[in-house]
Amino acid sequence: MTYVILGSCVLDTACLDACPVDCIRPRPGDPDFQVAEMLYIDPASCVNCNACREACPIDAIQSERSLPGDMHAYPAINAGYFDHVHE
Ligand code: SF4
Ligand code: SF4
């Protein structure tokens, strides 16, 4: 289980500062940031600390465990962002 960012993310980057393991991407300055539609959590690094969820002003971060059924695609969407990073 991990935390996931949902499509309602408004890219204000509050979660980036909160994450103790720096597993949220892209960051301002990364090539992808200017064209990003949302941010993404790397499930391989997330330690499920809840800090990002507490920092998010619009509840765009949820535990994968508690996602409502219509949000079931978001774990794969978050993980998929990192596929090219880990290749
Ligand atoms: S739950 Fe913790 S480790 Fe995981 S993305 Fe959020 S702040 Fe980072
Ligand atoms: S704090 Fe919430 S709205 Fe802001 S970038 Fe992170 S997930 Fe998106």
State the ligand closest to the CA atom of 41.
1
CB of 36 closer than 6 angstroms to any ligand 1 atom = no
Q: Could you list the beta-strand ranges (E) of 1-87.
A: 3-5, 24-25, 40-41, 61-63
- By most ligand atoms within 8 Å of CB, the mutation choice from 2, 12, 19 for ligand 2 is 12
Which ligand 1 atom sits closest to the C-alpha of 53?
Answer: 6
User: Residue ranges of the domains in the chain?
Assistant: 3-86
Its pTM stands at 0.95
Helices (H), 1-87: 14-18, 51-55, 74-81, 83-86
Helices and strands counted in the chain (H then E): 4, 4
Q: What is the DSSP letter of 34?
A: G
CATH T-level topology, domain 3-86: Alpha-Beta Plaits (3.30.70)
Over its length of 87 residues, how does the chain's per-residue pLDDT go in tens digits?
799 999 999 999 999 999 999 999 999 999 999 999 999 999 999 999 999 999 999 999 999 999 999 999 999 999 999 997 654
Pocket of ligand 2 (CB under 6 A): 5, 9-15, 39, 55-56, 58, 60-61
